[in-house]
Amino acid sequence: MNLRFHRQTILPNYGEAAQQKLLNSKVLVIGAGGLGCPCLQYLVSSGIGLIGIVDGDIIDMSNLQRQILFTTNDIGKNKAVTAKEKLKDIHPSTEINSFSFFLDGKNAKEIISKYDVVIDCTDDFNTRYLINDVCVELSKPLIFGANYQFEGQVAVFKMDDTKINLRDIFPTPPKQAMRCEEAGAMGAVLGILGSVQALETIKLITQQQDFLYNEILYLNVIKYETVKIKISKKLSDVRSPMLGNTIIDLNVEEFIEKINNPLVQLIDVRNETELPKVDFKCTQIPLTTLKENIHLLNKEKEIVLFCHAGIRSLEAAERLQDEFDFQQVSHLKGGIVKYFSMK
Amino acid sequence: MDNKIKIKLFGNLSELANTQEIWIDFKTTFFELRDELFLQFPLLVNKEFVFAINQKITHENVIINQNAEIALLPPFSGG
């Protein structure tokens, strides 16, 4: 029995086998700030075998009230390198790699591919979506955490067959969310959230039954209210995730389901003379007359567009979203040609 | 409350509305309810959030039961 980990190995459902899983695991923490500092401390203490820390930022005075690995003497130093320095004596057998630069589109895949679990402790949505999209592509479990004043969110995307991820909540990076500089942040609140992220990571690695599996936890620490929200796949996969496009491509099977759904309005954007004629009820609005006929579209319904081959319907879908602010828009990929060939 | 439904607000939305829960006229479908919400609380129009209906994030139109638990979830970004 390893004395160092004795107290956690005697917990129900933990034990030596679970500890061995932690010792063999490789965890990447992106962002060594308010969430990352407490998260890293608990991960190293718990005996994770290899930890990567990515952060290109420099420690400044205003960080110290919440980024608890750092002291006044560290001002001006890189966060990832300094965090490694502070953590290395906690459990000397934990190997720590520091990356003293920001994650970007060029380095993300190479770094993330070397780890089993990724923890998003960053504070901007562009990086969060980059991490998310790479984790989807590489099927790496992702532990998401974020803070707003006295509230927080933690989600676990296991990236198993459904690959439920951040884009199933917010399909594109939100633009209005405030960062700590504007909204304020309390160190102890970030401590709670970073600890929840560490705990969920430990639960995932040791294969516990109960964790935030494809759920997002909303936590309010003023009233101590929590809500766990289930995340399900948002219709079909979003097209070109890295480009942030939200038009949904429907395959023929999905399209057929829409035909008889009373909450769906089907729109044929071909010209009136085009063949083949369809065998179901729909509204015909040729793409060239979209603007004049916009009143024919019912905003309360989900709009499903189709055309001959799927090119015009995609353009119409984009215009409905961008120019006319429709939110529930999808189109038949491959068009009516595909529909008749598969039906 | 007769024919009203409660909507819980999180994050900056509760700050905007100055309360953690609001009541609006009940509607039988999600999209109608959403329109009613924007009509009664125009300050929520163009704000970023998703709807959770009975603890489930919901994007598509669904039938709403009057006992449904509805919450508006904004994105958080701080870290």
The domain of B39 spans 4-68
Residue B32 lies in a domain: yes
Of A230, A235, A234, the C-alpha closest to A215 is A230
Residue ranges covered by each domain of chain A:
3-230, 247-342
Which of B10, B29, B79 is closest, CB to CB, to A218? B10
Mark out chain B residues that contact chain A at CB-CB < 8 A: 8, 10-12, 29, 31-32, 35, 47-48, 50, 52, 55-57, 59-62, 71, 73-79
A180 is annotated as an active-site residue = yes
Question: A162 CA to chain B: closest CA distance, Å?
Answer: 16
Q: How far is CA A216 from the centre of its chain?
A: 10
Q: Would you say residue B2 has pLDDT above 80?
A: no
| Contact between residue A113 and residue A138 where contact means Cβ atoms under 8 Å apart | yes
Kindly provide the ipTM of the predicted complex, given to two decimals. 0.91
Q: How many folded domains does chain B comprise? A: 1
Domain with residue B51: its CATH number is: 3.10.20.30
Residue B24 lies in a domain: yes
pTM over 0.80: no
Chain A residues in contact with B8 by the CB 8 A cut-off are 227
B32-57 pLDDT, tens digit per residue, is 999 999 999 998 988 899 999 999 99
pLDDT of residue A328: 82
Q: Are the Cβ atoms of B75 and A174 closer than 8 angstroms?
A: yes
Q: How many CB atoms lie within 10 A of CB A334?
A: 21
Q: In A275-307, which positions are buried (b, 16+ CB within 10 angstroms) versus exposed (e)?
A: eeebeeeeebbbbeebeeeeeebebbbbbbbbb
pLDDT of residue A342: 83
Residue B75 lies in a domain: no
Alpha-carbon distance of A159 to A140, in angstroms, equals: 6
Q: Are the Cβ atoms of A234 and B56 closer than 8 angstroms?
A: no
Q: Would you say residue A236 has pLDDT above 70?
A: no
A37 is annotated as an active-site residue = no
A44-55 pLDDT, tens digit per residue, is 999 999 999 999
A65-123 pLDDT, tens digit per residue, is 999 999 999 999 999 999 999 999 999 999 999 999 999 999 999 999 999 999 999 99
* Residue range A18-24: mean pLDDT, rounded: 98
CATH, domain range A3-230? 3.40.50.720
CATH of A247-342, one of 3.40.50.10470, 3.40.250.10, 3.30.1700.10, 3.20.20.70: 3.40.250.10
